[in-house]
Structure 1
Amino acid sequence: MSHIGFSVPDLRESVRFYRRVLGLVVQDELEDGAVRLGWGSGHHVVELVEGLKGLRHYGFEVRDADGVAGIGARLRAAGHQVGALDRRYFDCNAGAPDGITTVDPDGVEVHFHTEVRRPGESVADTGRRPVKYQHITLGTADLETMVAFYVDVIGFRISDQLDDGRFAWLRSDRDHHTLAVVHTGRGGDIDHYSYDLAEWADFKTWCDRLTEEKVDVTWGPGRHGPGNNLFVFFDDPAGNHVELSAEMEKFHDDRVTYTPRRWKPIPNTVNLWGGQLASWRRTSEGR
């Protein structure tokens, strides 16, 4: 994952939240009123602009040689519109990458760009700031089409899925999932997005910190089945679900043949520790 853009009802409050709670810093303020935040140096992570709550765009950094060109060619061959990603979108000090833009099957803008500088990433007091932006989970009314777009056109691989076809986890690198897709009944939605922590001990520190900052923990701590990662959730001021995660399962596709697992659509799949669910999460069996 590279970056994500939201429209939020109260820009000033959201900027304060991301600075105070997640330890991000303001890197740029754009002419259209958008504010970009990141690790303090290198490419930004979050872009916020005032407006009705919504997902405006999300982006991927493509690190393999000629990867962006290959994605662009496959998109065009499949009949998708592809544009050049405006380099003014990036801080020139972060590398001014080459990139393309398109829209996903639900009409949300997606960016793919070459590698950028991120010297501030992974250099932090992990009890005060996450290590990196890890993954996004999209909500959709047509999971099959969204998964086909990312697997058949973009080049992701399926790691795991639910038996009922309502959740799929996709990978683009060693991590179990960079992208997940869940059926929510509506498109152009975001279910949640996630930051990586370093280790289990950080979760105690973060839960204490969230309490001190008067931010409610809305789910967890727990451990997911697919991905086997530890998690805790809370909401930003706009109501976006934010996850902190650690110990994500790793894949080494050059060393093993892997068949995607199919999990039962029950609470204990998405939370191995007793099956407790968040208020917004449902499974087709068991609850």
Structure 2
Amino acid sequence: MSSPWIEGLRSVSLSVPDLDQAEAFYTSVWRLEVAHRGADALYLRGSGRDAYLLALHRRDGAPQIQRVTLRSHSAEALAEVAKRAVAAGGQLLRTTSAVGDPAGGIGILVRDPHGRVFEVVHGDVQHGAVAPERDRPQRLTHVVLNSHAVDETQAFLTQAFGLRLADRTAAIAFMNCNSDHHTLAIGVSDNDALNHIAFLMPDGDAVMRGGGRMKDAGYPIQWGPGRHGPGNNLFNYFIDPFGVVIEYTAEVEQVDDSYLARGPEDWKWPPGRVDQWGISAAPGTTLKEAQRRVLFAPL
């Protein structure tokens, strides 16, 4: 299963009120490292090839999501995505041009019909192949975005970016663009907020050790440990100092064109369970409220 235009997920940009606090948390506790620091911006990378995974911009008030950045297969794909996004009801905010951030390259900026902003880049800086580092996030594996109109959002992602439906539960539509089971997912909601950002860890032990490290630092596991149904991935969910929901995950299911999408009837758990293992309780009110709070910044 793959998109003809989109290679994968690169990064997420957020605004937060305190960059010093953000740097302390995301380097010492979450275990990213600073890729670049500007007067009002902080770029944080993992141990993988991407120049950065999080771009944090200083802005007073509640955190907001500014954009989700995808990487295209080619420069030609950018023009195709731009054309298709507009045809699907989106708005082209920036035509193909140089990207003004430390990763460089060229890119476009698109807003979907409900105000979500996506950047698609090509030719951005990537590091050489590196071995996974113990307990450090490697890359982003997926982002889940809420939608008050899931079918419409799914249609836009399919038409504009060539994403395909991997699985659909009663709560989430999982969208695929490469061998990862899902890259973007759409959460059933009454708003269009950021639900969570998932960081890929080297293995299950790293997910668990990360949970212990977060707990020691005063950030308890909000949901987990567990193993999801769609994607078959291990998970621990947390809330960062600003209220953003973040996930450590590993062992994401790898799929190809032979994978058959399943529907809500195929993804039902026995009473009292919300994942394969049934160890952890269902997500509580604190997590659910945080998954509705971080909205896209108006442009």
Tell me the TM-score normalised to structure 1 length.
0.85
**Aligned residue in 1 for 2:260:** 258
Pair 134,121 (structure 1): closer, same or farther in 2 beyond 3 Å:
farther
Structure 1 letter corresponding to 2:178: D
Pair 1:215-2:216 in alignment: no
1:66 is paired with a residue whose SS is: helix
Q: Which runs of 5+ in 2 are unaligned?
A: 1-8, 290-299
Q: 2:244 aligns with which of 240, 247, 250?
A: 240
Pair 1:69-2:67 in alignment: no
Aligned pairs, number: 272
- Share of identical aligned residues, percent? 26
Question: RMSD value over aligned CA atoms?
Answer: 2.5
**Aligned residue in 1 for 2:281:** 276
Query: Relative contact order: is structure 1 or structure 2 higher (C-alpha 8 Å, sep ≥ 6)?
Result: 2
Mapped partners of 2:81, 2:273: distance in 1: 33
Tell me the TM-score normalised to structure 2 length.
0.82
**Aligned residue in 2 for 1:197:** 201
Given that 2:85 and 2:159 are in contact with CA atoms closer than 8 Å, whether structure 1 keeps it comes out as no
Mapped partners of 1:74, 1:180: distance in 2: 20
Given that 2:181 and 2:255 are in contact with CA atoms closer than 8 Å, whether structure 1 keeps it comes out as yes
**Aligned residue in 1 for 2:182:** 177
**Aligned residue in 1 for 2:146:** 139
1:89 is paired with a residue whose SS is: coil
Q: How does 1:1-287 map to 2 (within 5 A)?
A: 1-30=9-38, 33-39=40-46, 43-49=51-57, 50-51=59-60, 52-63=62-73, 66-82=76-92, 83-84=94-95, 87-91=98-102, 94=103, 96-119=104-127, 123-127=131-135, 129-162=136-169, 164=170, 166-187=171-192, 189-253=193-257, 256=258, 258-262=260-264, 263-264=266-267, 270-274=274-278, 276-279=281-284, 280-281=287-288
Q: Which runs of 5+ in 1 are unaligned?
A: 283-287
Pair 77,194 (structure 1): closer, same or farther in 2 beyond 3 Å:
same
CA drift of 1:157 comes to 0.4
What do the CA deviations read for 1:107-126 (whole angstroms, capped 9, x no partner)?
A: 12210111433327754422
Given that 1:85 and 1:99 are in contact with CA atoms closer than 8 Å, whether structure 2 keeps it comes out as yes
Mapped partners of 2:110, 2:204: distance in 1: 37
Given that 1:123 and 1:131 are in contact with CA atoms closer than 8 Å, whether structure 2 keeps it comes out as no
1:2 is paired with a residue whose SS is: strand
Task: Choose 241-250 or 210-219, whichever is displaced more.
Answer: 210-219
CA drift of 1:247 comes to 0.9
Pair 21,86 (structure 1): closer, same or farther in 2 beyond 3 Å:
farther
